[in-house]
Amino acid sequence: MRRLEWSIKALIDFDQAQGYIARESPFAAQAVADRILQASRQLMQMPSIGRPGLLPGTRHWSVQRTPNLIVYRVRADTIEILRVWHGRRDWLHATSFVNEAA
């Protein structure tokens, strides 16, 4: 059975996204949180579901009905969630993403 681990950066991303949405709608924030958590659990069953990521060995998967991407890495028996990235952020050129995800 695979384990699911979240990096500190991914947890911060997740928390910030929920806080931002909750300012307008706590209900919507909870719905997005539930979708992200459900998607992360699905990765445990189907780790190859995402597309190859920017860094070697990483993958990313769009969370349905949200603007978020889960950036992750598969290691032996572990799925590592590296970031939860908002799709509107310039993640292709973000040096902080590249430097902090690994």
Q: 48-61: per-residue pLDDT in tens?
A: 999 998 889 999 99
Q: How far apart are CA 102 and CA 94, in angstroms?
A: 13
β-pairing, 3-6 with 78-86?
parallel
- Taking residue 22's Cβ as centre, other Cβ atoms within 10 Å add up to 15
Class of domain 3-101: alpha beta
Q: 66-88: per-residue pLDDT in tens?
A: 989 999 999 989 999 999 988 76
pTM for this entry = 0.84
Summarize the chain as % helix, strand, coil (round to 5). Answer: 45, 25, 30
Q: How far apart are CA 89 and CA 64, in angstroms?
A: 17
**pLDDT value for 90:** 56
12 close to 100: Cβ distance less than 8 angstroms:
no
Q: How far apart are CA 33 and CA 83, in angstroms?
A: 14
